[in-house]
Chain A
Amino acid sequence: MSTQFSFHGGVHPPENKHRTTGLSVQTAPIPAELVVPLSQHIGAPSEIVVAIGDKVLKGQVIAEAAGRISVNVHAPSSGTVVAIEKRAVPHISGMQAPCIIIETDGEDRWIEHQGLADYHTLPKQELIDFVRHHGISGMGGAGFPTDVKLHLGDDHIVNTLVINAMECEPYITADDMLLREHSDKVIKGIEVIAHLLQPSHVMIGIEDNKPQAIRALELAAKETKLNLDIVVVPTVYPSGGEKQLIKLLTGIEVPTGHIPADVGIVCQNVGTTAAIYDAVFDGIPLISRIVTLAGEALAQPHNMRALIGTPLEVLLEAAEINQNALYRLVIGGPMMGFTVESQSIPMIKTTNCIIAASYEEMPPAPPANPCIRCGICEQVCPAELLPQQLHWFAKGKEFDKAKQHNLFDCIECGACSYVCPSNIPLVQYYRFAKSEIRNEEAEQRKADHARIRFEARQARLEQEKADKEARRKQRAADAAKAQAVKKDKAATSPDSDKAKSGEPDLKALKTAAAVSRTKLKKAQKALQNAQDKELDGQDKLKATVAELEVKAEAAQQAFDQAQNAPAPAAPVLDIKQLKTNAAVARTKLKQAEKALDKAETSGEGDIEALRVKLSEQQAKTVAAQAAYDNAESGGVAANSVSNEKLEGLKADMEAALGKVNKAQKALDTAIEGNSPAVEKMKAGVEKLQAKYDTLKAEYESTQNLAPTAAVAVSSEQVADLKADMDGMAAKVEKAQKALDVAVESGSPAAEKMKAGVEKLQAKYEAAKDEYEKAISPLNSVPLSIDLEGLKADIEALSGKVQKAQTALAAAQSSGSPAAEKMKAGVEKLQSKLDDLHQEYAQAGGQLPEPEPEVIDPKALKQQVSIMRTKLKKAQQALETANEQGDAEDLSELNAEVERLTSLHDEAKAAFDAYEKTQVDKAAAEGIDLKQLKIDAAMARAAVTKAERAAKKAREEKVEDLSGIEQQLVVAQQEAEHLNQTLSRFTD
């Protein structure tokens, strides 16, 4: 015998077992109708394999196991399937479940069946399947499919097989009687299980209140070769609980949330072992079981071997029930069993006891007193919980605390309720709390699921929206680019590179820098101009220049900073772009070379500057090529360039630029003062410039190497081109101005200068072309093509319209009857044209020629001549008509002639007007209209500024008002003067 252990708590309810052990196990009568539920076990309900009207034999499979945890169901007796429907089943909820109803024929004819000759020779898997096919599930209470437990040896090390013969609940004696009468079957069944699980030790736990059963067992156990112990333990409820039994026999606790197999133990009920014996040795499936019929309402309480599916009333009648005394009908034991309301429900595989209790035997629970925390429940709790605390928590719905107090370790044995002096239905509270917590958790899972779904949906919608927005933005950007290209072509505005470069911030800064540079240059020019002309307000202009210088520097710095800042999001090197850059740079280099050659051969122009430019361009080309090569070769070397180096170079470059600027200024001053050192200074400036250029080139090449600067490269080059272009424009303007001065002073060199100006103009054009070329790859090509297409369409259509109009006019003039039709056609065409125009405008293009300002002189002329011809024709017709005296025709023709005359006059007037503007323009060409305009604007700005200064001074009561006022007057005079000059040309 092994050492005995004990578990905590337990109670000793009156056993009431003796009344049912007096008689041997009787065979219950075969009922007229068997009600066999499909789900008598834990797991999936079995699947019906018979149909209504089928004849079935005893032991025939009528429903097959469905899924891993399921067993077969067999016909308990022979007969006919009369119905397959939902009937009330033995369940705590009183629910209905699908059942097969068999009308028995009373013959109880067996289907052919036989046991295994020697189960040892059978593979284990086949033996387990044999058990499964014989419908064996746990007969202790829960009804867990036995074959699943027989598989536990597969993935667990089973040391101990525990056989539960405790039968700790009062009243029940089914296992006791089984052991008394068939303990050999039990032992042989245990041998089968041991063969499958190979435990090192088998223990049969039995309470000491069954001495006859113990004796029978000991006798039977003498035969076995197993290492088997029959452990007799003191009677205490609930020692038959699996976990309590294990603790009792082995001293081991099954950890919470685990199964006994996790600690190397498998538990089986004695009833199950006997059923396994029947199946394996005799081939008898689980179609009957021993059930205890107890209770004071029965005159003949005893144990019966009854067929599964026998309605309770048949059994109760067999036990001679006194229906009047029946008060409570309990299935299972009095501690954990459940009440049923109907006697017509069937018994099933797990029904071990039916108690027909009288009122006196099981009176209704008295009303509950308040809990006085006496703690008796705690003393009896076999799970070592604090039942009274759990009760408080369940009552107060503090489920978190209940869970924390291990509510789910409660086995609902009912010991606490049994002892509670306050008659509190504690188990009911725990069931309530458990179901509430389960519901809450289910709700939580549902809510979580819904939330996840919702979030996923939101994310999806957001993504769709973002994609849509991105597409829209892309379209808008493409359109804007196309527009910008168009604008550049149309107007060559210096600021037209807005919204073009790859990086928005950088681009904006760059634009700002370029704009300030342009402004600065303009202001410098104005200052120069003013100085040259010895105009008033030079001081003012100088101040403006200084201010602008500061601004330009700030803008440049901001831009540089932005550019130097590491761009983590910078896209990867665009090799194609770099290639284009290199090509562009090469072209530029060639152009610059050509220009230099030209200048050298003609001995004119700023050769020095061109040279510098050439060297600069060379450096740039080299850099661009290097960048391209680098990128092509994988751009690994690029990493070697540190930002620090870049910054150092940049600082150097800036310093050099500052020097150049300073020198340039000094040079300017010297020139103004006609200093003799001008030549020398010029050389110095050039030297400095060259130095600066070298540095710049170096910097740029380094920058090009840096991978992060990849995108900036292209835009920077464009900017350089632009700067070149701007510089060129400034030069042209300067030259123009010089020429103007020369012309005014009647200098003989005017002719020569003019030629120079023209040359510069050409250069400027070249630079502009280059710039545009550089820009164009940056823009979206496909859309512009589309635009081009549209434009072509429009032109074709407008040609058609014109043709049609001409034809119409001819028709009208000839008085053709088809004129009306033609008119409609023309209108149609015109509307089409309008549509196209609109489309074009929408696509971001600009409307082509047909704008009132831009008039095609040729077309005008043509129109005039056409009108003239028409008029002449009409006049001729009129004359003819006059001669023929056709009055009706005459008046008509007269009208026509008049109309044509007016048309002719109109066309002529339009032509004349155009010619006049041309003439005006030509006249204005002598003086730089643009420059004048700028000057005027500057002067006006100066006036405004002076006015503001004066106002401020007045407000602040500055004494030196006269100085400011004088300044204001000077500025006003200057503005007036410039305005007057301007108005002469703009009228």
Chain B
Amino acid sequence: MALIRTSSPHLHKASSTADVMRLVALATLPGLAAMTFFFGWGTIINVMWACLLAVGFEACIVKIRKRPLGFYLKDYSAIVTALLLGLALPPFAPWWITLVGVFVAIVIAKHLYGGLGQNPFNPAMVAYALLLVSFPVQMTSWAEPFVLTHGDSWQVLEFTQTLGAIFGSVDPALIDMYTGATPLDAMRHRGGLTTEEVWRTVPVLAEGIGAWHAVSAAYLMGGVFLIYRKVFTLHTPAAVLGSLAVISSIFYMLDPYAFADPFFHLTAGATMLGAFFIATDPVTSATSNRGKIIFGIGIGILIYVIRGWGGYPDAIAFAVLLMNLCAPFIDQYTQPRSYGHAKAKRGMKGGA
């Protein structure tokens, strides 16, 4: 029997890209469960629908690119993209919103740039930003937590009705009953009220804010799990959350009537989802640990700036995309100091 000839190392850790992706998918489950609990079946339906579309588009585009189909489908990267997009979409988003979003994410934002590992922008966020800009009405009608519609007893729109609402067979008027402003919307479009007044008067803040707290806590759990499993490091999420907390604290201290408190910024909206699941996308973020910190701080600041003074109540997508743009530049200036070197190298020799 001929002996094989190969290069070292001869051992390999039993891990794969698919494992990483599966872990990420697993880590989103608490968040998904919380979303379903508070906002109904819409999110689950969206996620399933998005995953189905993602696998379909991935298969088509891999086929068109003449790559081995099974090999690429097995890496679960399309599933994760679809998952994240599905979680980010409003629970009652029409089916075609998801279709357009997944197409943009998989085909345009990922494969047209060269496939997994080559895309400069987070595919899910590209799709989300495109949908938000193109279909603002559909994208801003968020479901109300069950506490606002049914009081203390848990009751959400039935699964079949939700399915019908999403796929257009149910009267949209029914859906309107279950949708309303998000806390971020309320805080942004407060009409001259002070922060304290908004907290008191707007029902979604006064009574429904617990739903967002719970969802955020669920995502935080997932994120901690992934850090524990070393899927990503603490650097990016810590930088995102830390910088957002610091900047919102500063403004809150300056004028507590005009600005929301830091806890509100960390828990209302998609901050936790963004910090642990979006910003940590390795392909599109900075490489080194220091780079990741800078990258995360940039996202945190941009989130606050866009929320406070920008045109959109939530800002994760735009903040992440803008920082994706900066990642290669950050990489150039954040090389770690290698062993035996007095200091780290800066910039890129011979042009970049």
Tell me the A residues contacting B by CB distance below 8 Å.
7-8, 11, 13-14, 94, 170, 243, 247, 253-258, 323-324, 326-330, 332, 334-342, 355, 357, 362, 364-367, 369-376, 378-379, 382-386, 388-389, 398, 400-401, 403-406, 409, 412, 414, 417-419, 421-423, 425, 427-428, 431
Q: Is the interface of B mostly helix, strand, loop or mixed?
A: loop
Between A370, A414, A419, the greatest number of chain B beta carbons within 10 A of the residue's beta carbon is seen for A370
Distance in Å from the Cβ of B67 to the closest Cβ of chain A? 10
Determine the distance from Cα of A389 to Cα of B340 in the docked complex, in whole angstroms. 19
Q: Is the CB of B339 within 8 A of A383?
A: yes
Determine the distance from Cα of A454 to Cα of B138 in the docked complex, in whole angstroms. 75
B12 part of interface (Cβ distance < 8 Å): yes
B4 part of interface (Cβ distance < 8 Å): yes
Q: Is the CB of B7 within 8 A of A427?
A: yes
**In the complex, what residues of B have CB within 8 A of residue A421's CB?**
15-17, 19-20
Determine the distance from Cα of A812 to Cα of B24 in the docked complex, in whole angstroms. 132
**In the complex, what residues of A have CB within 8 A of residue B20's CB?**
372, 374, 421
Given A364-B6, A374-B282, are A423 and B336 neighbors across the interface (CB < 8 Å)? no
Q: Is the CB of A386 within 8 A of B10?
A: no
Q: Is the CB of A419 within 8 A of B15?
A: yes
B133 part of interface (Cβ distance < 8 Å): no
Q: List 15 A-B contacts (CB under 8 A).
A: A256-B341, A323-B1, A334-B8, A339-B4, A362-B10, A364-B4, A372-B77, A373-B117, A374-B282, A405-B335, A409-B340, A421-B16, A421-B17, A421-B20, A427-B8
Determine the distance from Cα of A137 to Cα of B278 in the docked complex, in whole angstroms. 54
Partner of A386, one of B118, B232, B336, B341: B336
Q: Is the CB of B11 within 8 A of A13?
A: yes
Determine the distance from Cα of A830 to Cα of B292 in the docked complex, in whole angstroms. 105
B331 part of interface (Cβ distance < 8 Å): yes
**In the complex, what residues of A have CB within 8 A of residue B63's CB?**
none
Instruction: List 10 additional A-B contacts (Cβ < 8 Å) besides A338-B8, A369-B75, A419-B15.
Output: A13-B11, A253-B339, A327-B3, A334-B11, A339-B10, A366-B16, A372-B77, A409-B339, A412-B8, A423-B16
Q: Is the CB of B233 within 8 A of A401?
A: no
Q: Flag the segment in B143-151, B189-197, B258-266, B342-350 that touches A.
A: B342-350
**In the complex, what residues of B have CB within 8 A of residue A8's CB?**
339
Given A362-B11, A364-B4, A389-B331, are A373 and B287 neighbors across the interface (CB < 8 Å)? yes
B5 part of interface (Cβ distance < 8 Å): yes
Between B17, B115, B288, B345, the greatest number of chain A beta carbons within 10 A of the residue's beta carbon is seen for B17
Distance in Å from the Cβ of B10 to the closest Cβ of chain A? 4
Partner of A418, one of B13, B287, B348, B352: B13
Determine the distance from Cα of A383 to Cα of B75 in the docked complex, in whole angstroms. 30
**In the complex, what residues of A have CB within 8 A of residue B345's CB?**
404-406
Given A323-B1, A417-B12, are A400 and B349 neighbors across the interface (CB < 8 Å)? yes
Partner of B287, one of A337, A339, A386: A386
Q: Is the CB of B10 within 8 A of A428?
A: no
Determine the distance from Cα of A338 to Cα of B19 in the docked complex, in whole angstroms. 29
**In the complex, what residues of A have CB within 8 A of residue B352's CB?**
401
Partner of A255, one of B9, B342, B349, B350: B342
**In the complex, what residues of B have CB within 8 A of residue A339's CB?**
3-6, 10
Determine the distance from Cα of A323 to Cα of B339 in the docked complex, in whole angstroms. 43
Q: Is the CB of B15 within 8 A of A334?
A: no
CB-based nearest A residue for B20: A421
B66 part of interface (Cβ distance < 8 Å): no
B137 part of interface (Cβ distance < 8 Å): no
**In the complex, what residues of A have CB within 8 A of residue B336's CB?**
378, 384-386
Q: Is the CB of A365 within 8 A of B339?
A: no
CB-based nearest A residue for B348: A401
Q: Is the CB of A330 within 8 A of B10?
A: yes
Q: Is the CB of B10 within 8 A of A328?
A: yes
Q: Is the CB of B1 within 8 A of A326?
A: yes
**In the complex, what residues of B have CB within 8 A of residue A372's CB?**
17, 20, 77, 116-117, 282-283
B173 part of interface (Cβ distance < 8 Å): no
Determine the distance from Cα of A419 to Cα of B75 in the docked complex, in whole angstroms. 16
Determine the distance from Cα of A13 to Cα of B6 in the docked complex, in whole angstroms. 19
Given A404-B348, A406-B345, A418-B9, are A327 and B4 neighbors across the interface (CB < 8 Å)? yes
Determine the distance from Cα of A417 to Cα of B6 in the docked complex, in whole angstroms. 13
Given A247-B339, A255-B340, A427-B8, are A373 and B15 neighbors across the interface (CB < 8 Å)? no
Determine the distance from Cα of A367 to Cα of B17 in the docked complex, in whole angstroms. 12
CB-based nearest B residue for A258: B340
Distance in Å from the Cβ of B77 to the closest Cβ of chain A? 7
Q: Is the CB of A375 within 8 A of B233?
A: yes
**In the complex, what residues of B have CB within 8 A of residue A243's CB?**
339-340
Q: Is the CB of A401 within 8 A of B16?
A: no
B338 part of interface (Cβ distance < 8 Å): yes
**In the complex, what residues of B have CB within 8 A of residue A384's CB?**
336-339
Q: Is the CB of B339 within 8 A of A369?
A: no
Distance in Å from the Cβ of B141 to the closest Cβ of chain A? 34
Determine the distance from Cα of A13 to Cα of B12 in the docked complex, in whole angstroms. 8
Determine the distance from Cα of A14 to Cα of B10 in the docked complex, in whole angstroms. 12
For the complex of A and B, the 8 pairs showing the least CB-CB separation, nearest first, are A414-B9, A256-B340, A370-B117, A400-B350, A404-B349, A334-B10, A406-B338, A374-B282
Q: Is the CB of B282 within 8 A of A373?
A: yes
CB-based nearest A residue for B77: A372
User: 8 Å CB contacts to A: which residues of B7-62?
Assistant: 7-13, 15-17, 19-20
Between A386, A409, A428, the greatest number of chain B beta carbons within 10 A of the residue's beta carbon is seen for A386
Partner of A369, one of B5, B116, B335: B116
**In the complex, what residues of A have CB within 8 A of residue B288's CB?**
375, 378, 386
Distance in Å from the Cβ of A275 to the closest Cβ of chain B? 26
Q: Is the CB of A379 within 8 A of B117?
A: no
Distance in Å from the Cβ of B104 to the closest Cβ of chain A? 20
**In the complex, what residues of B have CB within 8 A of residue A11's CB?**
13
Determine the distance from Cα of A373 to Cα of B287 in the docked complex, in whole angstroms. 7
**In the complex, what residues of A have CB within 8 A of residue B287's CB?**
373, 375, 378, 386, 388-389
Distance in Å from the Cβ of A386 to the closest Cβ of chain B? 6
Binary CB contact string for chain B from 91 to 130 against chain A (1 if under 8 A, 0 otherwise): 0000000000000000000000001111000000000000
Determine the distance from Cα of A398 to Cα of B232 in the docked complex, in whole angstroms. 27
Q: Is the CB of A341 within 8 A of B10?
A: no
Q: Is the CB of A431 within 8 A of B7?
A: yes
Given A339-B3, A365-B12, are A404 and B282 neighbors across the interface (CB < 8 Å)? no
Determine the distance from Cα of A13 to Cα of B1 in the docked complex, in whole angstroms. 28
Determine the distance from Cα of A7 to Cα of B338 in the docked complex, in whole angstroms. 11
Determine the distance from Cα of A18 to Cα of B288 in the docked complex, in whole angstroms. 37
CB-based nearest A residue for B334: A386
Given A378-B287, A389-B331, A404-B345, are A337 and B5 neighbors across the interface (CB < 8 Å)? no
Distance in Å from the Cβ of A376 to the closest Cβ of chain B? 7
Distance in Å from the Cβ of A10 to the closest Cβ of chain B? 12
Distance in Å from the Cβ of A191 to the closest Cβ of chain B? 30
**In the complex, what residues of A have CB within 8 A of residue B342's CB?**
255
Determine the distance from Cα of A423 to Cα of B75 in the docked complex, in whole angstroms. 12
Distance in Å from the Cβ of B342 to the closest Cβ of chain A? 7
Given A373-B117, A422-B17, are A341 and B5 neighbors across the interface (CB < 8 Å)? yes
Q: Is the CB of A386 within 8 A of B339?
A: no
**In the complex, what residues of A have CB within 8 A of residue B283's CB?**
372-373
Q: Is the CB of A336 within 8 A of B339?
A: no
Distance in Å from the Cβ of B142 to the closest Cβ of chain A? 32
Q: Is the CB of B1 within 8 A of A324?
A: yes
Determine the distance from Cα of A340 to Cα of B340 in the docked complex, in whole angstroms. 33
Determine the distance from Cα of A96 to Cα of B143 in the docked complex, in whole angstroms. 74
**In the complex, what residues of A have CB within 8 A of residue B331's CB?**
389
B2 part of interface (Cβ distance < 8 Å): yes
Determine the distance from Cα of A383 to Cα of B336 in the docked complex, in whole angstroms. 10
Given A11-B13, A340-B3, A379-B233, are A370 and B335 neighbors across the interface (CB < 8 Å)? no
Distance in Å from the Cβ of B106 to the closest Cβ of chain A? 15
**In the complex, what residues of B have CB within 8 A of residue A388's CB?**
287
CB-based nearest B residue for A241: B339
Determine the distance from Cα of A373 to Cα of B77 in the docked complex, in whole angstroms. 13
**In the complex, what residues of B have CB within 8 A of residue A94's CB?**
5
Distance in Å from the Cβ of B17 to the closest Cβ of chain A? 5
Binary CB contact string for chain B from 264 to 293 against chain A (1 if under 8 A, 0 otherwise): 000000000000000000110101110010
